[in-house]
Amino acid sequence: MSAPVRLLLADDQALVRGALAALLGLEPDLEVVAEVGRGDEVLAAVAEHRPDVCLLDIEMPGLDGIEVCRRLRADLPPGLAPRVLVVTTFGRAGYLRRALEAGASGFVVKDTPAAELADAVRRVHAGLRVVDPVLATTSLVEGSSPLTERETEVLRLALDGATVAAVAGRLHLSSGTVRNHLSAAIGKTGTRTRVEAARVARERGWL
């Protein structure tokens, strides 16, 4: 009998993380070898426990799951980097697209039945891609984010309530340049204010 697939779980909600560990631990061919509650703890845990597959939430303190995925691919040789399955509450087409671009092998939502989640883990481990079909369709319809990298940065800071002056200081831009980026983002999101633009962009998974 082959060795079980080694799993690392990263989710900032302890209850959810524990439930996932319990459910996946019931599968004879799967073994949870590490659990972390922050995105910035994943790389160290990967180095210590050598999982085959990482199950990552998206919104976590420290680093979000998409950035973790990107760093795993960038920092580790292809033969040593674990495969990534994103398991999240936030079923947004923009998140799906960004996660796949960052190197994730799969993307499912947390209300996926346990048997289907276990099967998704096995398929990702086997080198296959697993994507929630509804999200895949939505992603194709919506297309990629129309925001530039700078517009995305500006909106992300605006989402936290930062003033134009504060955003300008953080990004080393003039206030006028920040206003131009905000104006462009407002136009692309079909909204009227920077707060609305940031909210819409977040809801679509562009931030």
* pTM of the shown model: 0.71
- Asked if 116 and 184 sit in the same domain, the reply is no
Give the pLDDT mean for 1-14: 92
Pair (105, 60) in one structural domain:
yes
End-to-end Cα, the chain, rounded Å: 44
Among 141, 166, 189, where does a domain finish? 141
Q: How confident is the model at residue 87 (pLDDT cuts 50, 70, 90)?
A: very high
Tell me: do 109 and 40 sit in the same domain: yes
Structure tokens at 21: 């560990």
How much is the average pLDDT of 94-114?
89
Whether 72 and 162 share a structural domain? no
Domain count, the chain: 2
- CATH of residue 166: 1.10.10.10
How are strands ordered across the β-sheet holding 106-109? 30-36, 5-10, 53-56, 83-88, 106-109, 130-131
Span 186-197, average pLDDT: 84
Are both 133 and 154 inside the same structural domain?
no
> Which of 101, 117, 141 is the last residue before a domain boundary?
141
Within this chain, do residues 125 and 90 fall inside the same structural domain, yes or no?
A: yes
Whole-number pLDDT of residue 83: 95
CB 64 within 8 A of CB 58: yes
* Residue 67: CATH number of its domain: 3.40.50.2300
Residues 45, 105 within the same domain? yes
110 and 27 fall within a common domain:
yes
The range of the structural domain enclosing residue 88 comes to 5-141
Would you state the pLDDT for residue 160? 77
- pLDDT band per the 50, 70, 90 thresholds, residue 14: very high
- Whether residue 4 is predicted with pLDDT greater than 90 in this model: the reply is yes
Q: Are residues 34 and 126 in the same domain?
A: yes
**How many angstroms separate the CA atoms of 199 and 156, rounded?**
9
Domain end point (choices 121, 141, 161): 141
